[in-house]
Amino acid sequence: MALMTGKEYLESLRKMKTKVYLMGELVENFVDHPMIRPSMNSVAATYDLAHEDEHREVMTAVSNITGERVNRFCHLHQSTEDLKNKVKMQRLLGQKTASCFQRCVGMDAFNAIYSTTFEIDEKHGTHYHENFKKYMKFVQDNDLTVDGAMTDPKGDRGLAPHQQEDPDLYLRVVEQREDGIVVRGAKAHQTGAVNSHEHLIMPTIAMGENDKDYAVSFSIESDAPGIIMIYGRQSCDTRKLEDGSIDVGNPSYGGQEALVVFNDVFIPNERIYLNGEHEFAGMLVERFAGYHRQSYGGCKVGVGDALIGAAALAAEYNGVTRASHVKDKLIEMTHLNETLYACGLACSTEGVQTKAGNYQIDLLLANVCKQNVTRYPYEIARLAEDIAGGLMVTMPTDMDFNHPEIGKYCNKYFAGNSKVPVENRQKVLRFIENLTLGAAAVGYRTESMHGAGSPQAQRIMISRQGNINGKKELVKKLTGIK
């Protein structure tokens, strides 16, 4: 079963015993919970689109491990063309769901761990790379959704992992056994954790000798004993409980984050990919971050396409399409969005082959891409809010519009363009609210800032990769300075 359908994906989750807490309660049927299901629909779209002939080339690829066609989210990049198709796939899914579709982190983790384990084995004579190749075959054969988990709670950011008052604030190995290891700690802000079949764990920072217990990478089933998911709260999330309400904004799709707790979880040897080789933690983090910063040049652009379209519709429904300043704002939104896409494609085009054989992006351009993402979506959102108008956040509820007594007033006084039903205006304004301020803002506006690392993390990498000394030498040659 190399390519699941969306329906098969949902059914596969029903078979799992994942322990999920939401709003203080243990959720027995997390697949059909109205606050969780929209995020699962977004993941399901990654499966269904892979079966459409129109999108076959961007949604699927031929595996270098099995020789079979697999979902691109389970693929190891074999060329710069693969890297570009990854970005195109992410833009497509952003357009189709206008939300976070949650499989990118796992895909980026696959590629980072694949190349890093090769180099660990090369130095230490370990068998991590062979372990990981077997794991990748398992993932591809079953078309699994895997949560790439990197971010630790971190505690006091001024202290190293081993210096924390509570040693569990970074996930760590607490017991070494002949048949495996036991780990304790947590991973925070985990995108799509509840919707994933597996978790692929990585360290979150470069580490020294004293932190070797924290230098660990492994995979584990989402419903393994000792794992607890605590669902993250989103703005306006309880609107999803209002069945059929326009106020939801994006009724079909959504994103998801969770705190994933590891209470002394056993990891067998064959699922370990790093265990104490602390000098490789930084390499793994850097490579993963590069891939994931590339990702934002695709997914955020696709969601941006939806937001630009919504702003244009809002202008039409408000009756202001002829206003020159509105036209100019839509042009600026498009310019910013396409600039992000250009960065995503550029770092892909300049990609290089690793020692392991898969391809990684140009790290400098990937970090430039993400640095732009920390700014441009905010401006795109601001312009969309400007065009939409204040009704986006002051409109009465959908229940008021449908009320037998006061509904007539809502429909009368919130009419815009007379050729457009008031309900259509409602839908577009709530959609913009959802993307810029509501639950979807987690996957667009806020995630643009903090996802794949903070803005300062990208600036550090730009400083390292920018080759200032090389640029100084250029000028010395040009001016004859010896």
Catalytic residue from among 77, 189, 199, 292: 292
Tell me which DSSP letter residue 96 carries.
H
Catalytic residue check, 292: yes
- List the catalytic residue out of 191, 204, 354, 436: 191
Phi, psi of 19 (to 5 degrees): -95, 110
Rounded distance between C-alpha atoms, residue 291 and residue 107, angstroms = 9
- Among candidate residues 104, 343, 347, 410, the one labeled active-site is 104
- 334 marked ligand binding residue: no
Does 130 participate in catalysis according to the annotation?
no
Both tokens assigned to 287: 């490579």
Supply 82's token pair: 């693969």
User: Does residue 195 contact residue 145 with C-beta atoms inside 8 Å?
Assistant: yes
Task: Say what the alpha-carbon torsion angle 246, 192, 87, 217 is, to the nearest 10 degrees.
Answer: 170
Cβ proximity of 161 and 204 under 8 Å: no
Host H or E run for residue 291: helix 281-318
Contacts of 90 (CB under 8 A, 6+ apart): 104, 295, 298, 299, 301, 302, 344
Is residue 114 within 8 Å of 356, Cβ to Cβ?
Answer: yes
Written as six digits, the tokens of 191 are: 């995108």
Catalytic member of 100, 343, 347, 369 = 100
Q: How many CB atoms lie within 10 A of CB 270?
A: 15
Catalytic site includes residue 473: no
Q: In the Cβ-directed half-sphere of 201, how many Cα atoms lie within 13 Å?
A: 30
State the catalytic residue, choosing from 116, 117, 197, 257: 257
In sequence order, the 6+-apart residues with CB closer than 8 A to the CB of 233 are: 23
The backbone torsions φ and ψ at residue 127, rounded to the nearest 5 degrees and listed phi first, read -125, 30
- Contact at 8 Å (CB) between 108 and 388? no
Q: Is the dihedral of CA 443, 448, 454, 460 positive or negative?
A: positive
Task: For residue 369, indicate whether it is catalytic.
Answer: no
* DSSP state, residue 197: S
Q: Could you tell me which residues come within 8 angstroms of residue 348 by beta carbon, excluding any fewer than 6 positions away?
A: 80, 83, 84, 86, 87, 294, 361
Q: What is the DSSP letter of 94?
A: H
Residue 54 annotated in active site: no
Q: Is 114 noted as a catalytic residue in this protein?
A: no
| Residue 191 bears catalytic tag | yes
Residue of 170, 296, 317, 376 marked active site: 296
100: annotated active-site residue: yes
Pairing of strands 20-22, 227-231: parallel
Q: Give catalytic residues, as residue numbers.
A: 100, 104, 191, 257, 292, 296, 299, 447
Annotated binding site for FAD: 191
Annotated binding site: 191
